[in-house]
Amino acid sequence: DQQVKQNSPSLSVQEGRISILNCDYTNSMFDYFLWYKKYPAEGPTFLISISSIKDKNEDGRFTVFLNKSAKHLSLHIVPSQPGDSAVYFCAATSGTYKYIFGTGTRLKVLA
Amino acid sequence: DSGVTQTPKHLITATGQRVTLRCSPRSGDLSVYWYQQSLDQGLQFLIQYYNGEERAKGNILERFSAQQFPDLHSELNLSSLELGDSALYFCASSVYDSWAETQYFGPGTRLLVL
């Protein structure tokens, strides 16, 4: 049972445009969500997070939106840069110290 | 560089063998998580330790065990290895800020079971 789903395995975007990565979850008990970026041969790097008491969190070029009723979150990257090319994982937790990760979306930003 | 170190980087072994993966958390972090990432899969949470004590358990096989030592480094022991155990194994240490926990991942150990 995949509680956190990233249905798009890959995404290509032109440099300077917006990248939107999506994530759906099924467990209504999740109350904290995170996005990680992963380059080849490296571990995931924390990008941005959001608590379920918010619907938006922004950090520079990165914004995460949370729609609790739809059990959906998205990561917006504006403007996209070639260095953003990586695999992006969303993760969720319900405060039990168990983090459930999605399968990742490979983003390619074309110069 | 996250500050989390993992050794070895690569490990090739045979079915039925036992291996030990090592993780050193960032200085000051008390919590260590272990994850498994198989091909085209997300990170599967295995187990978490906090200051030497097991705090949370995920889908960790009985053939796998872990511990955290007084100096806070952690080891993940994988025994009776099977082909399906071939994967990337990550550890992460974490820190709490005012309202949330952030995990910092090591570079991973790539295990290949032949």
**CB within 8 Å: B100 and A51:** yes
Q: Which of A64, A93, A65 is nearest to A3 (CA)?
A: A93
User: Mean pLDDT across the stretch A76-92?
Assistant: 96
**CB within 8 Å: A96 and B44:** no
Q: How confident is the model at residue B98, as a pLDDT?
A: 57
Nearest by CB: B90 against A43, A97, A98: A43
Residues of A in contact with B4 (CB under 8 A): 43
- Judging by DSSP bridges, how do beta strands A45-51 and A32-38 pair with one another? antiparallel
Q: Which residue has the higher pLDDT, B22 or B1?
A: B22
Nearest CA distance, B82 vs chain A (angstrom): 23
What confidence category does residue B32 fall into, taking pLDDT thresholds of 50, 70 and 90?
very high
Rounded CA gap, B24 and B56, in Å? 19
Rounded CA gap, A4 and B35, in Å? 16
What confidence category does residue B97 fall into, taking pLDDT thresholds of 50, 70 and 90?
low
What confidence category does residue B101 fall into, taking pLDDT thresholds of 50, 70 and 90?
confident
User: Mean pLDDT across the stretch A27-50?
Assistant: 92
What confidence category does residue A1 fall into, taking pLDDT thresholds of 50, 70 and 90?
low
Is the distance from CB of A73 to CB of A23 less than 8 angstroms? yes
Q: How confident is the model at residue B111, as a pLDDT?
A: 97
